[in-house]
Chains A and B, each alone.
Chain A
Amino acid sequence: MDAPLPYPVAIDVQHVSRRFGNFTAVDDISFQLPFSGTILGIIGPSGSGKTTTVRMLTGALRPSDGRIMVLGEDPSRFRRSTRERIGYLPQAFSLYPELTVRENVDFVASLFGMLWRRRRRRVDEVLELVDLAQVRNRRAGRLSGGMQRRLELACALVNDPSLLVLDEPTAGIDPLLRVRIWDELRRLRDDGRTLLVTTQVVAEAERCDAVMLVADGRVIALAPPNDLRRTASGGDVIEIELAGPIDPRVLFNTPGVLHVNQASPLSLRVTVDDAGTASPAVVDAIGSVGGDVRSVRETRPSFDEVFAVLVTHHVDSARAGDTLAVRDPGAAA
């Protein structure tokens, strides 16, 4: 039996799989998400099992194997009061095009049993929040794609949920609006809410507190974004520019140096266990053989690169029967 976690758990997924006939959409995934103030990003390519995972978490799908607990309950048997604490943004626009923006949000608020007075106030609040107050009387079918996405977000927020499940909230949205939506999600996180966000945009991993990379229905890695970077590159990476060429082998025995790659005669890419402590030692080692360092800077691989490395590693590991370490996202929260 696992030891109890040091924080309340909003989502607890243990060895969950979901099959559709012979196709396995989700394959033995496990993770936990603390109750408050965390954004967990599920990132992966189309068809990697993100939406299936979300649908199982919201109780729309039953897992074929394994156990899921959300807010302390099995999602397939959520009580009404538990459902009232969850906000959901589906992947596709599913609101009523003939209703106005306000009417749509008001309808969803009614589904959560909110009475008229509270509903009126809350609908106005969320429309202000997602910047749709100016078009509140416009029919949803006449909104732009970005506005429709914001309308969906308003509907997901209207019941003031403690757990928000957002399936690709930024899909089809321009970069500027994407930034605004993420700012809003982080504000909700700071407000103490738990958010589970799926996305195909790998760069958005940066904005999450913890990232779960998925491919082919399996979890490739689960850790805070910086830890994933370190996992992908094998440590911190520092780039060194030299005034003249040196023999890179002088760095092999330097404390903290894990790997040295000579990109050109005058530039080195050195992987170290901790850039803060290893960088001075590396500079000293170069100086000890008469080398002259022009610049030293720590580089952060983009998440596209991280994702590519981890997926490649996943494929290689799967062949070798190995797995990547999965870290507790609660530690990042």
Chain B
Amino acid sequence: MTFLKVLTHLIAFVGKELVEVRRRPGALLSLIFGPFVIMLVFGLGYSGVRPALTAAIVIPPQWDLQVDVTKASELAPAGISVVGVVSTVEEGRALLQSKAADMLVVAPPNPVQAFKSGQPSIITLEYDTVDPVKSSYAALAGDQIAAVVNREVIRQAVEQGQHVAGATSDLSSIPADVVAAPTRAQTQNLAPTQPRTINYFGPAVAALILQHMALTLVALALVRERTSGQIERYRISPVSAFEVILGKLLAYGLIVAVLAAGTLALLVNGLGVPMLASLASVAGVLALLILASTSIGLLIGALSGSESQAVQLSLLALLASVFFGGLIVPIEQLSQPVATLALLIPVTHAVHLLQELMLTGAPQALGSVFALAAIAVSGFAGAWFLMRRSLAPA
């Protein structure tokens, strides 16, 4: 009989929450379409290709290398687009200041002669940016330009040397290109799917959205019970804190699970993200993510005194997930204490697992499965404890 009553309580809680969510069209709209629209816009709008740095090149009149403007453009390393070739530094800086070029490459006056006389030449690189990523990229581009020019200097010097030496030299049969660049890298990615921005970040963004929805919805639902006076009714009714908390968990777990199914379908069928693992294993990870996120949401709801406080805490959780969850900055780049904190966030583990399962088919990080389960159990236990205190006589 007691079991039947507990079951009746749980069904009542789940049913009530489902009806309430269904009756709020605005919330329903943002619940169902919001995440899909975000993902769709992300998938359509994010190319993952960094726009090329624009470069103006200063080639002094006394330049002794046989490079014209066309050649300079051809020689420019990947990621750099030559927008102009000028003969003075002042002209080049004018282009830099007018933002027509991101960087200015000033060629040394006589690099071949300097090479032959055993002197290094300096290629000067100037750029004007406060963006640290652009700054690093420009420095890297400088190294690439130097390597290209070095290769060209050596190639031309070897050609001239071979011409002078004629056929008597053993080196005369080796092409100048090979002498200038004897090795060339050839890469091969052994991953079962080829890297693609949407493939890699799609599951991560989906996990983040699902976590945020589960966490915020259940936290707000629990706070509303308190602010509307329902907690007082529960305190007097023959229901336990466990039933209240479990009822919320099941109700919002169910709602977010439906949304997760739609999100997964969109990822795979709409955005073409590979699905190399079984549907059951991906669904299992999503279920764990939802349980862990809902549990954290219950904890936030039990801790919050008002809806605005619950929203603030949910946003803090979202920010923490974005910065520490491995979406923007790899966790390996975080210091140990911060990296440990990141392990308390469900999305940290879910992103890892979903990317491995969907893109490689075989999860390497089974520890993340246990971590998600541990977060779910801890969050639920914490919320249960706080709800018991709320329902106890004051």
**Chain A residues close to B by CB (< 8 Å):** 58-62, 75-76, 80-81, 83-84, 86, 88, 90, 92-94, 96, 98-99, 103, 106-108, 110-115, 139
* B119 touches A (CB below 8 Å): no
CB-defined contacts of B228 to chain A, threshold 8 Å: 94, 96
Contact with A along B7-30 (1 / 0, CB 8 A): 011011001100110011000000
Q: Output the least CB separation between A96 and chain B (Å).
A: 6
CB-defined contacts of A90 to chain B, threshold 8 Å: 229, 232-233
Contact A60 B12 (CB under 8 A): no
Residue of B nearest to A152 (CB): B233
Known contacts: A60-B393, A110-B9. The answer to whether A83 contacts B232 by CB under 8 A is no
Residue of B nearest to A18 (CB): B394
Contact A113 B229 (CB under 8 A): no
**Which 9 A-B pairs have CB atoms at the shortest separation, nearest pair first?**
A94-B229, A110-B12, A113-B5, A83-B238, A98-B23, A80-B238, A76-B393, A111-B237, A62-B393
Contact B236 A88 (CB under 8 A): yes
A115 to B7, alpha carbons, bound, how many Å? Answer: 10
Contact with A along B289-333 (1 / 0, CB 8 A): 000000000000000000000000000000000000000000000
Among B230, B238, B392, which residue has the most Cβ atoms of chain A within 10 A? B238
Number of residues from B at the complex interface, CB < 8 A: 26
Contact A112 B232 (CB under 8 A): no
CB-defined contacts of A81 to chain B, threshold 8 Å: 238
Contact A99 B394 (CB under 8 A): no
A62's partner among B11, B23, B394 (CB-CB below 8 A) is B394
* B127 touches A (CB below 8 Å): no
Contact B20 A99 (CB under 8 A): yes
Contact B16 A99 (CB under 8 A): yes
Main secondary structure of the interface of A (DSSP, over half): loop
A96 to B20, alpha carbons, bound, how many Å? Answer: 8
A103 to B15, alpha carbons, bound, how many Å? Answer: 10
Residue of B nearest to A84 (CB): B238
* B235 touches A (CB below 8 Å): yes
A80 to B238, alpha carbons, bound, how many Å? Answer: 5
* B271 touches A (CB below 8 Å): no
Contact with A along B200-234 (1 / 0, CB 8 A): 00000000000000000000000000001110111
Known contacts A60-B236, A90-B233, A103-B16; 12 further A-B pairs (Cβ under 8 A): A60-B393, A60-B394, A80-B238, A88-B233, A94-B230, A99-B20, A110-B12, A111-B234, A111-B238, A112-B237, A112-B238, A113-B8
Q: Output the least CB separation between A63 and chain B (Å).
A: 9
CB-defined contacts of B12 to chain A, threshold 8 Å: 106-107, 110-111
A114's partner among B8, B20, B232, B236 (CB-CB below 8 A) is B8
A99 to B15, alpha carbons, bound, how many Å? Answer: 11
B16's partner among A75, A86, A94, A96 (CB-CB below 8 A) is A96
CB-defined contacts of A62 to chain B, threshold 8 Å: 393-394
Q: Give 8 pairs: A residue, B residue, CB < 8 Å, sorted on A.
A: A59-B235, A60-B394, A62-B393, A88-B233, A92-B229, A96-B230, A113-B8, A115-B4
Q: Output the least CB separation between B385 and chain A (Å).
A: 18
Contact A59 B8 (CB under 8 A): no
A80 to B234, alpha carbons, bound, how many Å? Answer: 12
Residue of A nearest to B24 (CB): A98
Known contacts: A94-B232, A110-B12. The answer to whether A61 contacts B238 by CB under 8 A is no
CB-defined contacts of A59 to chain B, threshold 8 Å: 235-236, 393
Contact B19 A75 (CB under 8 A): no
Residue of B nearest to A20 (CB): B394
A152 to B182, alpha carbons, bound, how many Å? Answer: 88
Contact B235 A60 (CB under 8 A): yes
Contact B236 A83 (CB under 8 A): yes
A113 to B236, alpha carbons, bound, how many Å? Answer: 14
CB-defined contacts of B233 to chain A, threshold 8 Å: 88, 90, 94, 108, 111
Contact A98 B236 (CB under 8 A): no
CB-defined contacts of A106 to chain B, threshold 8 Å: 12
Chain B, range 228-284, C-beta contacts under 8 Å to A: 228-230, 232-239
